[in-house]
């Protein structure tokens, strides 16, 4: 094969990536990703709420779901309506997903549109053969009925998606401390957004350590419930610090980190980060999650992070007592050690600052939740 032929092959074999934001929160997260420029992926914002959708100017495509059923007014918190609405646009959604290798579906569970639509769209993704990864948040423990809806949606999603990356807003708040609610939601947007962006970047762009689509598939295909943890370290032992933080503070209550089926680790560090450090991170993870069947990692250099490393660990195939129904009432999370909370909070504050503007919709939603509380 000539070099030209090889380059052509690289171009045509690059996996095609699509991100579909569903419902208000899903569309806000999709906007976060669009703002940060998703190289090599298309972004679709879909909602039943026409007014909110009209603000999604950064998406490559917008879809008003269930125009006949909802008339552009939203679902009023009923997931059944969200599911029906998505079915109205089935052919269009199918056309947009066709040919996608890696499909990310993002939503804040608990409302009507995102919660109802996400399993419908995930079904289309799986049918078309795409690696289908749902990334969702579950509402605060205080929003009891919304949490129940979220749990039902995750059960439905488990049937039709490969992996479901779940962030529990309550857990996030616990780690992020006393952040105002709107900032806590913005952190969730940034976390899910960077998860999607980091993965897409490492499989479509040259990075320090590349992940390829086949690697990703090996860990995320039929991965089930997955949790994310983030950690940051500086100074000596920065990698150890960041890894142990990421593994000790999953943003979903899981029974036992060491029982995870697969681990995906993504490391970002300044220009001073060495390949050795990246390898050490991998070894450390193998020690902490000894029973895992698969470990993959990708690494990227960010010139703004000199002296620091930031680690995002995704554990697949984990058990969460709340989601498996073992705990019906409020989940009592294990206490997070104080020394871990401070640097994590700083990392999250950094993420919030990095978010140039919080969508107005988020702020008004936050105000409503504050009232509910
Ligand atoms: N991460 C994040 N979560 C949000 C945001 N706004 C709301 N949420 C969370 O997402 C859940 C669902 O809210 P929405 O996305 O607004 O609901 P929807 O899917 O549009 O549903 P309907 O408005 O009922 O049609 C809420 O219960 C909150 O927990 C946001 O901007 N970011
Ligand atoms: Mg809405």
Q: What is the pLDDT of residues 317-343, one digit of tens each?
A: 988 887 876 544 333 344 455 555 566
Give the start-to-end residue ranges of the domains of the chain.
15-205+351-372, 227-324
Total length of the chain: 373
Q: How far apart are alpha carbons 113 and 185 in whole angstroms? A: 18
Ranking 75-89, 153-167, 281-295 by mean pLDDT, the lowest is 281-295
Residue-level pLDDT at 61: 96
Residue-level pLDDT at 340: 56
Residue-level pLDDT at 354: 52
Distance 93 CA to ligand 2 centre (A): 19
pLDDT bucket at 363, cuts 50 / 70 / 90: very low
pLDDT digits (tens, 9 = 90+) for 32-76: 999 988 877 899 999 999 999 999 999 999 999 999 999 999 999
Over residues 346-369, mean pLDDT: 47
Q: 80: Cβ–Cβ under 8 A, 6 or more apart, which residues?
A: 116
Instruction: Give CA separation, 146 vs 134, 153, 226, 320, in Å.
Output: 18, 11, 20, 17
Determine the Cα angle at 38 with ends 34 and 42, to 5°: 80
Over residues 236-244, mean pLDDT: 89
Distance 48 CA to ligand 2 centre (A): 7
What is the CATH number assigned to the segment(s) 15-205+351-372? 3.40.50.1440
Residue-level pLDDT at 68: 97
pLDDT digits (tens, 9 = 90+) for 107-150: 999 999 999 999 999 999 999 999 999 999 999 877 778 999 99
Q: How far apart are alpha carbons 274 and 262 in whole angstroms? A: 25
Query: Of the bound ligands, which one is closest to the alpha carbon of residue 144?
Result: 1
Residue-level pLDDT at 166: 93
Residue with tokens 């697969």: 262
Residue-level pLDDT at 167: 92
Look at residue 369 and tell me whether its pLDDT is greater than 60. no
361 phi and psi, to 5 degrees?
-55, -40
Q: Bigger pLDDT: 371 or 45?
A: 45
Q: Which two tokens stand for residue 366?
A: 């936050």
Q: How far apart are alpha carbons 237 and 1 in whole angstroms? A: 45
Q: 189: Cβ–Cβ under 8 A, 6 or more apart, which residues?
A: 25, 28, 29, 32, 355, 362
Ranking 78-82, 135-139, 239-243 by mean pLDDT, the lowest is 239-243
Give the atom of ligand 1 at the shortest distance from the alpha carbon of 167: 1
Q: Which of 20-29, 146-155, 160-169, 332-341 has the highest mean pLDDT?
A: 20-29
Distance 316 CA to ligand 1 centre (A): 24
Ranking 21-35, 77-91, 151-165, 186-200 by mean pLDDT, the lowest is 186-200
DSSP-based three-state secondary structure for 99: coil
Residue-level pLDDT at 49: 98
Q: How far apart are alpha carbons 126 and 124 in whole angstroms? A: 6
Over residues 301-312, mean pLDDT: 89
Distance 27 CA to ligand 1 centre (A): 9
Query: Of the bound ligands, which one is closest to the alpha carbon of residue 22?
Result: 1
Measured by CA distance, the residue closest to atom 4 of ligand 1 is: 25
Q: How far apart are alpha carbons 138 and 163 in whole angstroms? A: 15
Over residues 80-98, mean pLDDT: 97
Adjacent-strand bridge partners of 269 = 301, 309
Mutate to test the pocket of ligand 1, among 148, 184, 187, 365 (most ligand atoms within 8 A of CB): 365
Residue-level pLDDT at 331: 37
Look at residue 370 and tell me whether its pLDDT is greater than 80. no
Residue-level pLDDT at 37: 86
Residue-level pLDDT at 347: 60
48 lines ligand 1 (CB under 6 A): yes
Residue-level pLDDT at 364: 38
pTM: 0.85
pLDDT bucket at 356, cuts 50 / 70 / 90: very low
Determine the Cα angle at 294 with ends 292 and 300, to 5°: 115
Distance 162 CA to ligand 1 centre (A): 23
365 lines ligand 1 (CB under 6 A): yes
Q: How far apart are alpha carbons 14 and 104 in whole angstroms? A: 16
In whole angstroms, what separates CA 22 from the centre of its chain?
Answer: 13
Over residues 175-188, mean pLDDT: 80
Radius of gyration in angstroms for the set of CA atoms belonging to the chain, rounded to a whole number: 19
Average pLDDT, the chain: 84
Mutate to test the pocket of ligand 1, among 49, 85, 137 (most ligand atoms within 8 A of CB): 137
Distance 331 CA to ligand 1 centre (A): 21
CATH superfamily of 227-324: Tubulin/FtsZ, C-terminal domain (3.30.1330.20)
Give the atom of ligand 1 at the shortest distance from the alpha carbon of 26: 15
Q: Bigger pLDDT: 80 or 335?
A: 80
Q: How far apart are alpha carbons 322 and 49 in whole angstroms? A: 30
Residues near ion ligand 2 (Cβ under 5 Å): 24, 49, 74
Residue-level pLDDT at 93: 98
Over residues 194-223, mean pLDDT: 84
Q: How far apart are alpha carbons 269 and 220 in whole angstroms? A: 24
Query: Which value, to the nearest 10 degrees, does the dihedral of the CA atoms of residues 132, 148, 366, 73 take?
Result: 70
pLDDT bucket at 15, cuts 50 / 70 / 90: confident
Residue with tokens 């936050």: 366
Q: How far apart are alpha carbons 103 and 114 in whole angstroms? A: 16
């Amino acid at each position: 094969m000539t070099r030209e032929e090889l380059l052509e092959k690289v171009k045509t074999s690059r996996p095609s990536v699509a991100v579909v934001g569903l419902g208000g929160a899903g569309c806000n997260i999709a906007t976060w990703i669009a703002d940060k420029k998703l190289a090599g992926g298309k972004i679709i914002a879909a909602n039943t709420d026409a007014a909110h959708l009209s603000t999604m100017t950064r998406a490559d495509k917008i879809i008003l779901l269930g125009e006949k059923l909802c008339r552009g007014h939203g679902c009023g918190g009923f997931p059944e309506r969200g599911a029906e609405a998505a079915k109205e646009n089935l052919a269009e959604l199918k056309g947009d997903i066709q040919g996608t290798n890696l499909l990310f579906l993002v939503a804040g569970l608990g409302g009507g549109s995102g919660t109802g639509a996400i399993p419908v769209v995930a079904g289309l993704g799986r049918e078309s053969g795409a690696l289908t990864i749902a990334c969702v948040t579950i509402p605060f423990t205080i929003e009891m009925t919304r949490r129940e809806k979220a749990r039902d949606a995750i059960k439905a999603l488990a049937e039709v998606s490969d992996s479901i990356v779940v962030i529990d807003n309550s857990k996030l708040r616990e780690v992020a401390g006393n952040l105002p609610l709107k900032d806590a939601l913005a952190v969730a947007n940034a976390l899910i957004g960077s998860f999607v962006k980091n993965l897409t970047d490492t499989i479509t762009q040259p990075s320090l350590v590349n992940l390829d689509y086949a690697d990703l598939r090996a860990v995320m295909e039929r991965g089930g419930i997955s949790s994310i943890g983030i950690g940051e370290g500086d100074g000596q032992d920065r990698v150890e610090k960041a890894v142990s933080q990421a593994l000790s503070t999953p943003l979903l209550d899981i029974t036992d980190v060491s029982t995870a089926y697969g681990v995906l680790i993504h490391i970002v560090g300044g220009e001073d980060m060495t390949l050795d450090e990246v390898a050490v991170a991998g070894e450390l993870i193998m020690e902490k999650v000894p029973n895992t069947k698969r470990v993959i990692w990708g690494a990227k250099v960010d010139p703004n992070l000199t002296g620091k490393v930031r680690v995002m660990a995704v554990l697949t195939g984990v058990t969460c007592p709340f989601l498996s129904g073992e705990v019906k009432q409020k989940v009592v999370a294990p206490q997070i050690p104080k020394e871990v909370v401070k640097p994590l909070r700083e990392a999250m504050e950094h993420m919030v600052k990095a978010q140039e503007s919080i969508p107005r919709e988020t702020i008004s939603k936050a105000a409503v939740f504050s009232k509910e509380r």
